[in-house]
Amino acid sequence: MYTAFSRVFQNCKQNAVSTTQGTLNQTHANWQTSMSNSVLIPYNKVPQYQLATVLLVGSEGLGKHGFGKCLIKNTWFYLQVRTATTLPLPVTSDSSRPRIDYICFLIDLTSRDSLKTVEESLKHVDVRYFLGKCCFVALKVKNPEKRAIFIEQIAQLSQQYKSDVLYGSFETEAESAFLAEQILKSVEIAAGLQKNKSPMFLECCRFPVAGEESAE
Summarised one tens digit per residue, pLDDT across range 107-132 is 999 999 999 999 999 999 999 999 99
The answer to whether residue 11 scores a pLDDT higher than 60 is no
43 closest CA partner among 204, 162, 199: 199
**Residues near 173 by Cβ (< 8 Å), separated by ≥ 6?**
70
**Cα(155)–Cα(152) distance, integer angstroms:** 5
The beta-strand segments (E) located in 89-158 are 102-108, 134-139
Full-model pTM: 0.77
With 80 as the cut, is the pLDDT of residue 25 above it? no
